[in-house]
Amino acid sequence: MDIEDLAARILQGERRALARAITLVESGRADHRVAARALIERLHGHDNVALRVGLSGTPGVGKSTFIEAFGRMLTAQGLKVAVLAVDPSSARSGGSILGDKTRMERLSRDPNAFIRPSPAQSHLGGVARRTREAIDLCEAAGFDVILIETVGVGQSETVVAEMSDLFLLLLAPAGGDELQGVKRGIMETADIILINKADGDLKATATRTCADYAGALRLLRKRVQDPEGFPKALTVSAVEENGLDRAWDEVTTLTRWRREVGHFEARRAGQARYWFEAEVREGLLARLRREPVKGAMAALAHQVEAGEISAAAAAEELLETYLGEVAQV
């Protein structure tokens, strides 16, 4: 693979090259990982700075419908929009349907839009392991806005906030009860809460739900990265395409303020450090799955199963024996 040629085509905004590059960075093959690192390093330092917007929500809340309507509104303004949709993977077969692009039929035909569904596989956090690198590729390709759709709402879906400039949380009318177990972690991370399906018979319910969450947001401890009035809750209707322009106005207002006071750059710098540390952890775990550590772990696992040694003692023995070797690999 000619990395120089692929990088040049990505910088020119060629969609086919971008799709091929994302496939490359998502591959787990050792030679592909080497090529992917070379490509990312080659593209490092490009001039384009896209707005990265993370988006999560409960299953069935209308994330795909919202993204299509929101994305089409942005492309109508002349903006180039990339959508990275993460699809859940089967715990049995490991496969994914990857149906998000099918749901966004009109946006997928828009020449100013690029949609890429990816499987979550075994990675936690609502995003795929290489979503961050896919974001870098889309930014290098010249896109103005990158929308990152997570698998679904939950405690761990806050990981998307570590790879986005703003985090939007999409909720359904009267959805508070089913969110009681997870809303604290998510609400503390969300920059804007959008109550979707504010149309028809659900419009009044959506308005009440929005008021409830607006009150809840006021009870949260104020964050240094927010101006007065943020985070806030709004109502939108993806079907009727109402409230989308106001949501975008709030996104741009918050982004502009963070740029002016320096939080935008500081946030990205902190995210870079976060992902460096995450790569180190993932790399160490990957090396634990190789020989000779893999064989030693299997042998100790049998001893743990037989009750000959406790799990804690076996883990300590393995780490003491191989930690130095792992660190040197």
Q: Which residues pair with 100 in a beta bridge?
A: none
Q: Is 122 helix (H, G, I), strand (E, B) or coil?
A: coil
Please classify residue 229 by burial: count the beta carbons closer than 10 Å to its beta carbon, then call 0-12 exposed, 13-18 middle and 19+ buried.
exposed
Q: Evaluate the omega torsion of the peptide bond into residue 231 and state whether it is cis, within 30 degrees of 0.
A: yes
What does each of the 329 residues of the chain score in pLDDT, given as a tens digit? 799 999 999 999 999 999 999 999 988 788 998 999 999 999 988 888 999 999 988 778 889 899 999 999 999 999 999 999 886 544 344 444 455 667 788 999 999 999 998 775 544 444 456 888 999 999 999 999 999 988 665 545 567 778 899 999 998 897 654 444 345 567 778 899 999 999 999 999 999 989 988 888 888 778 888 999 999 999 999 999 999 999 999 999 999 999 999 999 999 999 989 888 888 888 888 778 888 888 999 999 999 999 999 999 999 988 888 776 544 44
Residues near 100 by Cβ (< 8 Å), separated by ≥ 6? 64, 83, 85, 87, 115, 117, 149
> What is d(CA 311, CA 293) in angstroms, rounded to the nearest whole number?
16
Residue 222 CB partners (closer than 8 Å, separation 6+): none
CB 76 within 8 A of CB 138: no
Q: If 0-12 CB within 10 Å is exposed, 13-18 middle and 19+ buried, where does residue 325 land?
A: exposed
pTM: 0.84
Amino acid at 102: T
The alpha carbon torsion through 122, 128, 129, 133 (nearest 10 deg) reads 170
Q: Hey, what are 111's tokens?
A: 């020449």
Q: For residue 283, what are the β-bridge partners?
A: none
Q: Name the β-bridge partners of 44.
A: none
Q: Which whole-number Å values give the CA distances from 15 to 7, 80, 267, in the listed order?
A: 12, 12, 28
Measured distance CA(68)–CA(24) in Å, rounded: 26
Count the Cβ atoms, other than its own, within 10 Å of residue 310: 11
Q: In whole angstroms, what is the distance from residue 61 CA to residue 237 CA?
A: 11
